[in-house]
Amino acid sequence: MRRRPAGAPVPGGRGVRPAVGVLPRPGAVDRPRAVPGGRGPRGAGVSAAPFRLTAAEFTALARGGGGPAVRVLRAARRSRTLLMIRSIAAAPAARPAYELLREVRRVAPAAVDRVLDHPSVGAWATRAALGRGRPEDLAFTAAAAAVRGGVPVELEFPPAEVFALPSLGVGVGVGLEPLPEVAFGPAVFQVDVWAGGGVPAELPVDTAVDLPRLRERVGAAWELLARHDPEVAAEVAEVVRVLTPMPSSPAGTSSATLADAYGCVFLSPAPDAETVAVTLAHEAQHSKLAALTDLFALVEPDRRAVFYAPWREDPRPAAGLLHGVYAHLGVARFWRGRPGGEVEYARWRSAALEVAETLLGSGALTAVGVRFVGEVAGVLREWCAEPLPAEALAEAAAEAASHRARWEAAHRG
């Protein structure tokens, strides 16, 4: 076991007020639940103690945006992480770190929030709460919070191949190599290769990141988003906090999010800024929906039916189909009105509407899920009524037919 002092404070990040007050004593986790407002779908609030979404905010999220409601999602996800940490703290090996975290939260709550919002903390807390991670690794989170909060402490760390402090960096000798950042106006993205582990084996990470190239591409993508759709740009800046590079893919640009790592986008090198921009818009939608489904059950449990998805080669369960339609609502929005994007817009507005209508007729959605997808479908119907050049419509229809034929041939019988 090693003992190291927590270092000097570093500048704190942006954040919303704490979702939960001073950390409670260790105990059992009680996952927050949410129910729709009691006065019906119009004019009613949608609440999830201790969070509340108005009907207008819920509708805005369902229609692909969200505005201020996106900050509620971040706070709700932070509360989920805290509840898991409370459960983990029942283990004796985690208690010293937990008590330190409580103390730092008392004097520097924004510092704790900044660390808890780091995607690797949520991912670790989920694994540990499910018995697939070490409770004693809470020491790294607590130490990071102490450093950010300027709280001098000595803390005993468990053995680890890599000494990584979430949101700060990686230990090198007696110092700390900070995580690099790429910043563009309000958008500040840390570049994190998860040196301390925690990424599923099937998701490759490129540890030899070309930072100047990444900064150039992401910067150009940010400028494109901010110019083309400032509302989407603002949501990306609020949702996405970490970029994790993936290796180049022979199949083209790859990207991913992890449901338990809110705010992290994994992405491989892209050929141009446009591809990076639509990738960020797409993955931000996945993150928003993952956080929303912490609060509201949108899909009925234990549904085994699988469905055709126009963007996948494999059959998808209802939950996966819902994620796909919400992400492609964002993709269609990106291409809407963009010069040269007529084929992509035609393709994905129609594909997403087809899937939304499949879900609405499937019986797989809860009442809140029907309400949510009904709003999604309403937007897509409006978009599908917008005129486009006949050539773009024909090309999009041909691509859709080719994909379906290929899928049906692969899954016949």
DSSP secondary structure of 81-103: HHHHHHHHTTSGGGHHHHHHHHH
Strand 154-157 to strand 51-53: parallel, antiparallel, or no bridges (unpaired)?
unpaired
pLDDT at residue 144, rounded to an integer: 97
Helix/strand/coil for 297: coil
- Residue 9's identity, in one-letter code, is P
CA-nearest of 281, 276, 140, 285 to 198 is 140
| Residue 149 near residue 111, CB atoms below 8 Å | yes
Question: Vertex 255, ends 249 and 260: CA angle to 5°?
Answer: 135
Distance CA 275, CA 257 (A): 16
Token look-up 């019988």 returns 413
| Residue 347 near residue 399, CB atoms below 8 Å | yes
Distance CA 89, CA 82 (A): 10
The helix (H) or strand (E) run that includes residue 243 is strand 242-245
CA distances from 265 to 23, 163, 219, 254 (A): 29, 23, 15, 11
Q: Write down the H helix ranges in 250-336.
A: 273-295, 318-335
Sequence spans of domains, the chain: 44-177, 297-303+313-413
Question: Vertex 178, ends 168 and 70: CA angle to 5°?
Answer: 45
DSSP secondary structure of 126-174: HHHHTTSS-GGGHHHHHHHHHHHHT---EEEEPP-SS-EETTTEEEETT
Instruction: For the chain, give the longest Cα–Cα distance.
Output: 69
Token look-up 């996952």 returns 31
pLDDT at residue 50, rounded to an integer: 65
Question: Around Cβ 338, how many Cβ atoms within 10 Å?
Answer: 17
Whole-prediction pTM: 0.87
Sheet holding 35-36, edge to edge: 35-36, 46-48, 51-53
- Calculated CA dihedral for residues 144, 150, 154, 159, nearest 10 degrees: 10
Sign of CA dihedral 19, 295, 371, 373: positive
pLDDT values of the chain reduced to their tens digit, one per residue, 413 residues: 233 333 332 223 322 222 333 344 343 333 333 433 433 333 333 333 467 888 999 999 999 999 889 999 999 999 999 999 999 999 999 999 999 999 999 999 999 999 999 999 999 999 999 999 999 999 999 999 999 999 998 888 999 988 899 999 998 777 889 999 999 988 999 999 999 999 999 899 999 999 999 999 999 999 999 999 999 999 999 999 999 999 998 878 899 999 999 999 999 999 999 999 999 999 999 999 999 999 999 999 977 899 999 999 999 999 999 999 999 999 999 999 999 999 999 999 999 999 999 999 999 999 999 999 999 999 999 999 999 999 999 999 999 999 999 999 999 86
- Residue 188's identity, in one-letter code, is V
Residue 25 buriedness (CB in 10 A; 0-12 / 13-18 / 19+): exposed
| Residue 61 near residue 102, CB atoms below 8 Å | no
Joined together, the tokens standing for residue 171 give: 């230990």
pLDDT at residue 153, rounded to an integer: 85
Token look-up 């190291």 returns 4
Distance CA 202, CA 154 (A): 37
- Calculated CA dihedral for residues 65, 67, 71, 74, nearest 10 degrees: 10
pLDDT at residue 302, rounded to an integer: 77
